[in-house]
Amino acid sequence: MRPPAPAALGLLLLGLLLLPLPGEAAKKPASCKHCRELVDKFNQGMADTAKKNFGGGNTAWEEKSLSKYEFSEVRLLEIVESLCESSDFECNSLVEEHEEQLEAWWLRLKKEYPDLFEWFCVKTLKVCCSPGTYGPDCRECPGGSERPCSGNGHCSGDGTRQGDGSCQCHLGYQGALCTDCMDGYFSSRGNEMRAVCTACDESCKMCTGPTNRDCAECEAGWVQEDGACVDVDECAAEPSPCSAQQYCENANGTFQCEECDPVCVGCTGKGPGQCRECIPGYTKDSGQCADVDECSLPEGVCPRRGENCYNTPGSYVCVCPEGFAETEDACVQMQPTGDAATEESPAQPPSHEDL
């Protein structure tokens, strides 16, 4: 194999020099979320150490000689050591990479920039924006940073370097600035004399106030009557909106079709007491469809002589007694087989499985 040409060797070395160092390729800019979480933990650490001191027993001498604990590097170290769990890679990387900036803020800049989030995440790392601003340049949200989206919605990207600033309005509001009311809501004045969108009565599609008399237009399933939107009783319509084996239940603005009881042939409501007619094997008894006990009828229903009758829901079964065989017109006792003759025993009802 021929050795590589000098020019090719030079390009290869240049490419190797431009490759990222081990671990560098995995590095990525801190996200606003992780920066915000770190600041929240730092602020919590400040609260947790607010009433501590050097702990040496002579606090007055220590603070005179070593400066006040409140502004000391000892307190800073305690706070930093409590910021991240050992398994939290993102947090530990962020602290390691920006420990010098945190130390500078603590020792020299805290009085000038008391808001750590604003100084660290917004102005220094430039991964977040101030509340009410969004996007790479931290532009004001629609409606201004004080009341984004008129206070009636969420500004896309609010507080981050992302999003397009568009307003996602809260329920009941619409429009570019979330100042208009949706259909089904009306505008009223809130405590601060700002417009508030309040839900109309359920009977109104559009309205000017809270009652069914304030409807500008009725919702489907409601109709204007004597100056108010009232429910349409669809179940009173002829023919019924439900099938023959269903009954109709009216509800505000709508209706439902429910299945009749299994013993009914048509019905007007729930249960066997609401049947129009009964299915075969059932008859009306005190207004309810009840099972007919065919076995108690005087004429008898079993065709063979000696057969036992057993009633079942809606029907009956005829069975020869145990030890008897069926013939065309009677139950005939079977002859015992073998040497052992079985004693005659009273007829036993069939098991549940045989019915």
How many other CB atoms are found less than 10 A from the CB of residue 32? 21
> Is residue 318 pLDDT above 90, yes or no?
yes
187 close to 207: Cβ distance less than 8 angstroms: no
Amino acid at site 88: D
The reported pLDDT for the residue numbered 117 is 96
The reported pLDDT for the residue numbered 202 is 96
Mind listing the pLDDT tens digit for each residue in 106-119?
A: 999 999 999 999 99
DSSP-derived 3-state class of residue 184: coil
Which of 88-102, 236-250, 341-355 is the least confident region?
A: 341-355
More confident residue, 253 or 339: 253
> Is residue 5 pLDDT above 80, yes or no?
no
CA distance 328 to 323: 17
Which of 2-11, 102-111, 255-264, 334-343 is the least confident region?
A: 2-11
* Angle between the N-to-C axes of helices 32-48 and 73-81, in degrees from 0 to 180, rounded to the nearest 10: 120
The reported pLDDT for the residue numbered 11 is 47
CA nearest to 343, candidates 331, 329, 333 = 333
Confidence band, pLDDT 50/70/90 cuts, at residue 9: very low
How many other CB atoms are found less than 10 A from the CB of residue 206? 17
Mind listing the pLDDT tens digit for each residue in 166-198?
A: 999 999 999 999 999 999 999 987 666 688 999
> Is residue 132 pLDDT above 90, yes or no?
yes
Mind listing the pLDDT tens digit for each residue in 61-86?
A: 454 544 577 888 899 999 999 999 99
More confident residue, 52 or 61: 52
Q: Is the pTM of this model over 0.85?
A: no
Instruction: Look at the block and give the residue holding tokens 């240049």.
Output: 14
> Is residue 15 pLDDT above 70, yes or no?
no
> Is residue 28 pLDDT above 60, yes or no?
no
Amino acid at site 338: G
Q: How much is the average pLDDT of 149-163?
A: 95
Amino acid at site 166: S
